[in-house]
Amino acid sequence: MRWMNRLQKTLSTIVRRGSETARLDEEMRFHVEQEIAERVARGASPEEARREAVRRFGNRALLRDEVRRGWGWGWLETLGRDLRFSIRALMRSPGFTITAVAVMALCIGATACLFTVVRSVLLEPLPFHDPGNLVMVYEHWRANTSGNPYNPVSPGDFYEWREQTHGFADMASYYNSSLTVTGDHGEMPEMVAAQKGTWNLFPLLGVTPALGRTFREDEDQVGDHHVAILTWSFFQRRFGGDPSIVGKTFRMAARPYTVVGVLPEWFAYPDARTQVWVPYADGVTAERLHEHDNHYPYVVARMKPGVSLKTATDEVSALQYRMHMRYAGSPVAEDVMSRPMIDDVVKDVKTPLLMMMAAVACMLLIGCLNVSNLLVARGAARQKEMAIRGALGAGRFALLREQMTETVILCGCGGAIGLLLALAGTAWLKLHWRGLPRASSIHVDLTIVLFTFGVVGLTAVLAGVLPALSSTQRGVLEGLKDSSRGAGVGVSRVRLRKTLLSVEIALTVVLLLSAGLLLKSFVQLKTTDLGISGDHLLTLRYNLPKEIYTRPEQSVAFSQSLLERVRRIPGIESAGLGSTVPGAGWDGDEVFIVPERPKYESNKQPDAMTRHADPAYFTTLGVPLIAGRFFDEHDRLDQSNKVVVSEELVKRYYPGENVIGRTVVMGIDITNKKRTYEIVGVVGDTLWRVGQRTKATIYFPVLSGDTGYRATLVVRTSGDPLSYAIPIQKEIAALDPQLPVVDVLTIPEIVGESTVNQSLSASLVLIFAGLSLLLAGVGLYGVLSYVVTQRVPEIGIRIALGARRGQVLGLVLRDGLRPVVLGLLVGIGGGVAVGYVIRSLLYQTKPLDPMVFAMMATLLLAVAALASAAPAWRASSVDPMQALRTE
Amino acid sequence: MGRPNDLVQGTLGLLILKTLSLEPKHGWAIAKRIEQISNDVLQVQQGSLYPALQRLEQQGWIRSKWGETETGRQARFYSLTAAGKAQLGKEREMWTRLSAAIDLVVES
């Protein structure tokens, strides 16, 4: 309780500190007067009594100070005085103050911003019930030695896992799909991203809907009754947020769906694009629902209390192996692997985010070192002041405290501005980082503010302690002597600054190298040859719903008339139809059999990506013909058992053979006549996505009339391709007004779409590196200017003794470049290490890319030379007479 | 300068507490009393009383109140609190032990 008492006392004295001082004075005056009175009463003369009383009392001012210190607000007073002093000192040199605050604001802002993102995305638990016990379960092929051992699960496997193993509390599954939403009253048709989830997914996650309910078990069955759950954004956008939609129906995939519930606003799993959820079994056949060789769904599981993840996974894995043996010959994986759900959600952004966080931390450190350097220079300029104040009795601690106050003010102002920058930066990142998981949960809150405070404290210590120590460490006498004599000034301080500079440059080099590697990788991605030629290409996607286009003839007729109509548009040079264009992503793959070699090792069955193309597709895109022919108008409907294969497929499965006229059988049944195809042509390779390896590809004729396919119309135009978007969409609407058109994109846009995040991380790191380079340049300039100023007399003597200007220039340059070269060497070492750490982010770029290293080293040296040039020039133009006279 | 010697500084608190145990007093009276009782042996720098009083008050051992002296002047009167009484007991005991020990050493 005593501290309470003391606190109360302290507070009350702070509040009444003016009157308290007056009372103390009154008390002391009373004391002295009493003493005088007593002495007079004893017979002393008033004069003598007063003198004696005052002497006996002691130094009143000193005692008063002692009492006041005890009042508990002494430190506050000192702080106030320090603040006043520091602010006055900082105001005197606005250039320095603004520079330092700006540097700190940028660095602290960037750090706080990245930390905000890292915390919300990587560190905070998922917004589900007991998220620590949620895991994702995947199939794993033993032959899969790629970086990602986690393969999607087949629905048949999932159902067996769920029924036959008991290591997990429950398992649920989902897969993505897209559905066409149309209106009953001629509303705009649109294609929406959908997820198909098992009925128990939401209960397993512990998610309760904002409105209505989630799926019932009986709704997750193959059948004619269709239900859907809307996500909050779709509910708001398409249905105006009207709660009465629950229980009503809307048209999707040409069927009526009953809305059973609406998900809460925060729910953005598995991604924020998802608009609608339907049951797992919706719109598929029972056969499809239980197949084991088609892998696309994801499986979420909740761990059972007391059962370790390994035990549970091993049980599923054992079952999987039994299934692998049972379905020998078809692609069923041998093993099962699992990982925590949070790791699964952030898998693609963890490394880039941590890398950026590290880059920002480097920049922060560089900023600290730079401010530290500026402070050392300032300390040197104020050396005389310090010495005089020391001589007048200021303790070292007091001087140190004052200097630290200055640094804290600088960092504090920087931190405050930085926090604002962080707010803006976070908002910007949220907007521009495409597909950043959990982006909606990113927010700046008290933790971030506290973190910023922490960073401010840390930077203040980092930037302030060294200069403060160095400027107060010297003896008073030495300091006074030193400042009046010019030669050999502040050798230790110069050494300190150069060391700081070397560290700064080393860090800058590391950042520059990382940025260079990422940039080169990004440029590689951007300029990747997709395998197509020519520009002025426009692509438009649409899905022909199989519920409406039920007969193959209908599909073919639609495609045929669409192509005819589009080709009639003036300015369209050619038009073709395919399933998915190069660069636009994976579009399914399938195993096949080479009839001449029907035997293969388990899981080594030939596998190819499957695509569709019409006769004009390859020529429109400029995919070269290697052998044989493209499709022609006769390869349609029942004449369509022809395929065109890619060069990679020939290389891989028919090395050195002529494949034209040979047959392949798709699937696993060699006797399946319906799925036996003749190879009529070989075309050049195309990339399915920028940055991914070429994959063997089989093209089927679009005009085979497969019902319900996903199609991309490709046109080559004579002018700006985007100006043809509207005329083409009009033609589509004329054919089928209910058909939504999506992804109207040019090829560069498709490439840009898939490289937008690489572009983001490369540019951010480049910005950090650029700022660091600027800081390093300014730092170097500062140090050299300082050194030159200190050495003016010495240089004057040298010139007077006959040194040539060139020699002096060289002298100063050498002096300035030594820490640069040292920093460069250390930095290159660091850069090599960092290059290896981030190599998973690099595309066709080696961590030791000589061009990047050479360019970045040259860049740094150029900046360093530029920064040293001015001081060196100043040194070489010293007038010896002038220099010696000022001595 | 105005500081009491080390021995007195260590025991000034005890002297003040003891002086106040009889009745509340103002600062000057405390100084006088200490001098009188000790037959002028303990002559403290009178001013150093005030930092000591302030420390004791902050510890919660004494409290102060403004009041009138016999001569009708305003002065700050200090009095012992319950915690102060307890503290006085403790310090007295300690002092007795200490002085006895010193006696033993010095007289032996």
In this structure, what are the phi and psi dihedrals at residue A436, rounded to the nearest 5 degrees?
A: -65, 120
Measured CA to CA in angstroms, residue A336 lies from A150, A309, A712, A776, B9 at distances of 8, 12, 36, 51, 79
Q: What sections of A16-173 are H helices per DSSP?
A: 17-41, 46-57, 60-68, 74-92, 94-118, 155-164
CB A322, CB A336: distance < 8 Å: no
For the cut 80, the answer to whether the pLDDT of residue A377 exceeds it is no
Q: What is the mean pLDDT of chain A?
A: 85
**pLDDT digits over A776-828, tens only?**
888 888 777 877 777 788 888 888 888 888 888 888 888 888 888 999 999 99
**A154-163, A453-462, A670-679, A701-710 — which is least confidently predicted?**
A701-710
Q: Are strands A227-230 and A255-262 parallel, antiparallel or unpaired?
A: parallel
Cβ neighbours of residue A866 under 8 Å, at least 6 residues apart? A777
CB A247, CB A198: distance < 8 Å: no
**A418-422, A622-626, A633-637 — which is least confidently predicted?**
A633-637
Q: Which fold, B6-107?
A: Arc Repressor Mutant, subunit A (1.10.10)
CB < 8 Å & 24+ apart, contacts of B61-64: B61/B17, B61/B87, B61/B88, B62/B16, B62/B17, B62/B20
Q: What percent of chain A has pLDDT over 70?
A: 93
pLDDT of residue A335: 92
Which residue from A677, A674, A583 is spatially nearest to A631, judged by alpha carbons?
A677
pLDDT of residue A538: 92
Q: Are strands A298-303 and A134-140 parallel, antiparallel or unpaired?
A: antiparallel
Ordered DSSP codes for A649-684:
HHHHHSTT---TT-EEEESS-TT-GGGEEEEEEEE-
The confidence band for A643, taking pLDDT boundaries of 50, 70 and 90, is very high
The continuous run of DSSP H or E covering A852 comes out as helix A850-876
The confidence band for A887, taking pLDDT boundaries of 50, 70 and 90, is low
Q: Are strands A276-279 and A227-230 parallel, antiparallel or unpaired?
A: antiparallel
pLDDT of residue A707: 59
Cβ-nearest to B46 among A23, A57, A72: A57
CB A698, CB A649: distance < 8 Å: yes
For the cut 70, the answer to whether the pLDDT of residue B8 exceeds it is no
CB A581, CB A617: distance < 8 Å: no
- Four-point Cα dihedral A540, A541, A547, A552, nearest 10: 70
Kindly state the average pLDDT of the residues A670-675: 85
**Which tokens go with A341?**
């759900």
CB A290, CB A257: distance < 8 Å: no
The confidence band for A475, taking pLDDT boundaries of 50, 70 and 90, is low
**pLDDT digits over A412-423, tens only?**
999 999 999 999
Q: Whose structure tokens read 């956008």?
A: A237
**Which tokens go with A2?**
């005593």
* Class of residue A886 by CB neighbours under 10 A (exposed 0-12, middle 13-18, buried 19+): exposed
**pLDDT digits over A81-112, tens only?**
888 888 888 888 888 888 889 989 999 999 99
Residue with the bigger pLDDT between A115 and A42: it is: A115
Cβ-nearest to A58 among B26, B45, B55: B45
For the cut 60, the answer to whether the pLDDT of residue B7 exceeds it is no
**Which tokens go with A874?**
């100043």
pLDDT of residue A116: 93
Kindly state the average pLDDT of the residues A402-431: 90
Q: Where are the domains of chain B?
A: 6-107
Which residue from A433, A205, A214, A242 is spatially nearest to A341, judged by alpha carbons?
A205
CB A435, CB A401: distance < 8 Å: no
**pLDDT digits over A208-264, tens only?**
999 999 999 999 998 888 999 999 999 998 888 899 999 999 988 888 999 999 999
Best A34, A59, A60 residue to mutate vs chain B (most B CBs within 10 Å) = A34
B47:A67 CB<8 A: no
pLDDT of residue A774: 87
Residue B74 near chain A (CB below 8 Å)? yes
pLDDT of residue A487: 42
Residue A112 one-letter amino acid: A
Cis peptide before A655 (omega within 30 of 0): no
**A214-223, A276-285, A559-568, A732-741 — which is least confidently predicted?**
A732-741
Kindly state the average pLDDT of the residues A53-59: 83
**β partners of residue A712:** A541, A578
Q: Using CA atoms, how far apart are residues A23 and A275, in angstroms rounded to an integer?
A: 74
Kindly state the average pLDDT of the residues B28-49: 79
B28:A26 CB<8 A: no
Partners of residue A23 in chain B, C-beta under 8 Å? 66, 76
Residue with the bigger pLDDT between A132 and A781: it is: A132
Partners of residue B82 in chain A, C-beta under 8 Å? none
Partners of residue A59 in chain B, C-beta under 8 Å? 1-2, 47
Please state, as a whole number, how many other Cβ atoms lie within 10 Å of the Cβ of residue A118: 20
On whether ipTM exceeds 0.90, the answer is no
Q: Are strands A663-666 and A642-646 parallel, antiparallel or unpaired?
A: unpaired
B55:A60 CB<8 A: no
Q: Are strands A676-683 and A642-646 parallel, antiparallel or unpaired?
A: parallel
Please state, as a whole number, how many other Cβ atoms lie within 10 Å of the Cβ of residue A212: 17
CB A559, CB A703: distance < 8 Å: yes
Partners of residue B2 in chain A, C-beta under 8 Å? 57-59, 62-63
- B103 to chain A, closest Cα gap in Å: 31
| Count of helices and strands (H, E) across chain B | 4, 3
pLDDT of residue A630: 92
Q: Are strands A625-628 and A572-578 parallel, antiparallel or unpaired?
A: unpaired
Q: What sections of A382-439 are H helices per DSSP?
A: 383-391, 396-432
A9:B58 CB<8 A: yes
Partners of residue A70 in chain B, C-beta under 8 Å? 51, 54-55, 58
For the cut 70, the answer to whether the pLDDT of residue A400 exceeds it is yes
The confidence band for A868, taking pLDDT boundaries of 50, 70 and 90, is confident
Kindly state the average pLDDT of the residues A45-70: 82
pLDDT of residue A798: 86
Q: Which residue of A has its CA nearest to B27?
A: A31
pLDDT of residue A187: 72
Q: Whose structure tokens read 């075309």?
A: A683
Partners of residue A30 in chain B, C-beta under 8 Å? 26-28, 73-75
Which residue from A789, A854, A777 is spatially nearest to A819, judged by alpha carbons?
A777
Partners of residue A35 in chain B, C-beta under 8 Å? 28, 46
The confidence band for B10, taking pLDDT boundaries of 50, 70 and 90, is low
Diameter over CA atoms, chain A: 140
Residue with the bigger pLDDT between B59 and A154: it is: A154
For the cut 60, the answer to whether the pLDDT of residue A849 exceeds it is yes
Best A36, A56, A68, A69 residue to mutate vs chain B (most B CBs within 10 Å) = A56
**What letter would DSSP give residue A45?**
-
**pLDDT digits over A330-365, tens only?**
888 889 999 999 999 988 888 888 888 988 998 998
**Which tokens go with A624?**
């070269």
Q: What is the 3-state secondary structure (H, E, C) of A723-752?
A: HHHHHHHHHHHHHCCCCCCEEEEEHHHHHH
Which residue from A92, A8, A22 is spatially nearest to A64, judged by alpha carbons?
A22
CB B58, CB A69: distance < 8 Å: no
Q: Using CA atoms, how far apart are residues A244 and A259, in angstroms rounded to an integer?
A: 10
- A28 to chain B, closest Cα gap in Å: 8
